[in-house]
Structure 1
Amino acid sequence: MPMQDTKRSIAISESNVTACKRFFFGCVFICCLFTSQLLSAQHSTSSYIRKYSPISVRLMEETGVPASVILGVAMLESGTGTSRNVKLLKNHFGIVGRNSLGKLKTKYRSRYKQYETDTASYRHFVKLLMKRKWFRDMKGNMEYAVWLKHMDHGGYSSAGHVWIKRVSDIIRRYKLYKMDKEDHLTSTNKQ
């Protein structure tokens, strides 16, 4: 009898080792998968910033709207360029309007405006801000938090303070405020 118990415990022990190995390798696989996804997301974010920071700075120089606000809002609203609205409509800001998705043979429907180019989306966003009555007082002010507060009070987002926090977090995390330095502004916007 004791011999059978020993064989049984060895068999149980070997199956436990096999189960532990499977569990371990499963965990390693999941960690690798998660890490690759994380690195991919970081890459897409840095690519988005590299691609759209020049237009954000150019629009800041032309209009006085901080580049950090322009790019920060675009990053949040577009999922750093990964949303369907960006891919299908070139809409980086969640602006509502007409689109031609109904004419295409796609199941995806959207209430968001379609743009010819990504730059057109950025320009339209800034034009909408310029139409606000508070714009004249804010033009050239590089305090992104004040801009976001005005935008929130103006009804840009229905998420309110949560939206402000999320955009502010993006601006701080990726140091987008560095684009707002005085040396980027033209003399016409400083007046």
Structure 2
Amino acid sequence: MTLNKMFSSRWFCAVLCTILLFGNSAYSQSKVRYVTKYKETAIAIMNETGIPASIILGIAMLESGMGTSKNARLLHNHFGIVGKNKLHKKKGGTYRSRYREFESDDASFRYFAKMVQKKKYYPLMKGDPKYKDWLKHMNDSGYSAAGQVWEKRVAGMISRYKLYKLDEQMAYSKK
């Protein structure tokens, strides 16, 4: 093996290892940052409405790509909520979206909770911390066109990041 090939192989391996180590680490850190940034909002909404923080945060994480989606960044929309926006005016008409624009990230989270509170399953489920039951009811009511795939992906997020532990702080009681 020539010195050039050996150097090339080692260099390639070193670059690949660096990408795998730091690339994956950066991705994991973005998830931790997202949870850290929005967990207090999710807990506050949970204690006001009885919707588990794990449900609020798990759905937001999935549907906003951990806050990296264009909808989350440009419209403060963390839940894929359809509606009006003024994005075409801001960006000179180069980007259009059918998703609703919110004043802030917090407004997006609160609007999501209001939507859930209007559902038939809400009175039965409010104050119940069992996230899998919530997801089943949401899926059965047609929350997502992806159906059981969506349900499994959100449950995976909640489980992987132990978001269910946030539900232990539920102070909401059924009235």
Q: Distance in 1 between matches of 2:10 and 2:97?
A: 44
Match of 2:48 among 62, 70, 88: 62
After TM superposition, the score normalised by the length of structure 2 is 0.94
Please state how far the C-alpha of 1:60 moved relative to its aligned partner: 0.5
Gaps of at least 5 residues in structure 1 are 1-12
Match of 2:84 among 98, 104, 107: 98
Residues matched between the structures, number: 174
Determine the structure 2 residue equivalent to 1:123. Answer: 110
Over the aligned positions, Cα root-mean-square deviation in angstroms equals: 1.3
Determine the structure 2 residue equivalent to 1:38. Answer: 24
Please state how far the C-alpha of 1:190 moved relative to its aligned partner: 3.6
Determine the structure 2 residue equivalent to 1:10. Answer: none
The amino acid of 1:76's aligned partner reads L
The structure whose Rg is larger is: 1
Q: Is the 8 A contact 2:52 2:170 kept in 1?
A: no
Match of 1:150 among 118, 122, 137: 137
**Structure 1 residue 80 corresponds to structure 2 residue 69:** no
Q: Distance in 2 between matches of 1:161 and 1:68?
A: 18
Gaps of at least 5 residues in structure 2 are none
Please state how far the C-alpha of 1:106 moved relative to its aligned partner: 5.0
Q: Distance in 2 between matches of 1:159 and 1:167?
A: 11
After TM superposition, the score normalised by the length of structure 1 is 0.87
Q: Distance in 2 between matches of 1:184 and 1:167?
A: 20
Question: What SS class does the counterpart of residue 88 from structure 2 fall into?
Answer: coil
**Structure 1 residue 110 corresponds to structure 2 residue 97:** yes
Percentage of pairs with the same residue: 46
Match of 1:177 among 142, 164, 169: 164
Please state how far the C-alpha of 1:157 moved relative to its aligned partner: 0.8
